[in-house]
């Protein structure tokens, strides 16, 4: 069996850290994305297949935001695909020159999910960012449900800590990387590490990223072939 589908709030809200060309602070924005593999926290959510992803966000000039994001998911080989819908809201505010703090809540729902368990869950997160170059986020899920090679666990707590960095180069290119630790001790008595490194190209509203993902042996022990260790992923995002 494959991995329980999960989408972390820091990744869901990653684009909120970035300024949208041509938009002042405050207002609506949206995105359409295509990716060769929907990888979250070192685990493929489409079992190596591609995904179409859509999102919309309203950012108030006073700092609060709300939005929704969706993707197809297919966590089991040969199983039926279904859809993930995430709705979220939160607040971000400056705390010093070039630093921003962000607090958010999200609810993750799986529509027409054929699995017998109830996998919907909630997440609370707190993050800090330096411009759009560095960010650190801690998140807490009070009601996670997962099926892995170590068994099935329902409505347990999980924690995650994640760091990401983006270093601009010339001509619209940037180097990106990230790493995180995912504490599943309340679920299965283990935790694991995962990360990624890649190259991003941005031209106006289009961004294209090539990433190499990594995860440790515990991730493979939990999720077997759904572990995205050493997986290359190409993604394109159109923001408007």
Query: Which burial class, exposed, middle or buried, applies to 204 when counting CB atoms under 10 A from its CB (0-12, 13-18, 19+)?
Result: exposed
Token digits of residue 56: 């919309």
Token digits of residue 2: 């494959």
d(Cα 170, Cα 157) in Å, to the nearest integer?
43
pLDDT of 76 reads: 74
pLDDT of 25 reads: 56
pLDDT of 117 reads: 81
Residue range 9-239, CATH number: 2.40.160.40
Residue-wise pLDDT for 113-144, tens only, equals: 888 888 999 999 999 999 989 999 999 999 99
pLDDT of 118 reads: 87
User: What percentage of the chain carries pLDDT values higher than 70?
Assistant: 88
Q: Where are the beta strands (DSSP E) in 112-205?
A: 121-130, 134-148, 151-168, 173-184, 190-203
Bridge partners for 221 per DSSP: none
State the first-to-last Cα distance of the chain, in angstroms, to the nearest integer: 38
d(Cα 50, Cα 72) in Å, to the nearest integer?
9
Specify the residue for token string 């991730």.
219
Cα-based distances in Å from 148 to 29, 81, 190 = 36, 18, 12
The DSSP-derived string for 71-84 is EEE--STT---EEE
Pairing mode, if any, of strands 27-35 and 39-40?
unpaired
- Which of the residues in the chain have pLDDT under 70? 1-26, 78-79
> Phi then psi for 12, rounded to 5 degrees?
-60, -40
d(Cα 178, Cα 138) in Å, to the nearest integer?
14
d(Cα 21, Cα 16) in Å, to the nearest integer?
13
pLDDT of 81 reads: 86
d(Cα 153, Cα 144) in Å, to the nearest integer?
8
Domains in the chain: boundaries: 9-239
Token digits of residue 208: 């294209």
Query: Could you tell me which of 235, 232, 225 has the C-alpha nearest to residue 202?
Result: 235
pLDDT of 207 reads: 95
d(Cα 46, Cα 14) in Å, to the nearest integer?
20
DSSP 189: S
pLDDT of 50 reads: 95
**Backbone torsion region of residue 28, taken as left when φ is above 0, otherwise alpha when ψ lies between -120 and 50, otherwise beta:** beta
């Amino acid at each position: 069996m494959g991995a329980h589908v999960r989408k972390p709030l820091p990744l869901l809200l990653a684009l909120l850290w970035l300024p949208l060309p041509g938009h002042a602070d405050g207002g609506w924005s949206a995105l359409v994305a295509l990716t060769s593999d929907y990888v979250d926290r070192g685990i493929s959510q489409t079992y190596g297949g591609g995904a179409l992803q859509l999102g919309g966000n309203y950012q108030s000039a006073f700092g609060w935001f709300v939005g929704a994001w969706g993707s197809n998911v297919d966590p089991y080989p040969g199983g039926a695909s279904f859809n993930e819908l995430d709705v979220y809201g939160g607040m971000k505010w400056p705390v010093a020159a070039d630093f921003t703090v962000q607090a958010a809540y999200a609810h993750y729902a799986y529509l027409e999910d054929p699995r017998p368990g109830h996998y919907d869950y909630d997440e609370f997160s707190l993050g800090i960012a330096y411009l759009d170059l560095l960010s650190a986020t801690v998140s807490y899920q009070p009601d996670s449900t997962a099926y892995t090679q170590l068994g099935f666990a329902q409505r347990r707590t999980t924690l995650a800590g994640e760091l990401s960095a983006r270093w601009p180069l010339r001509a619209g290119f940037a180097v990106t990387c990230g790493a995180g630790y995912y504490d599943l001790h309340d679920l299965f008595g283990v935790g694991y590490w995962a990360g990624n490194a890649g190259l991003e190209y941005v031209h106006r509203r289009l961004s294209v990223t090539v990433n190499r993902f990594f995860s440790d042996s515990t991730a493979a022990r939990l999720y077997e072939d759904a572990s995205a260790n050493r997986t290359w992923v190409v993604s394109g995002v159109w923001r408007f």
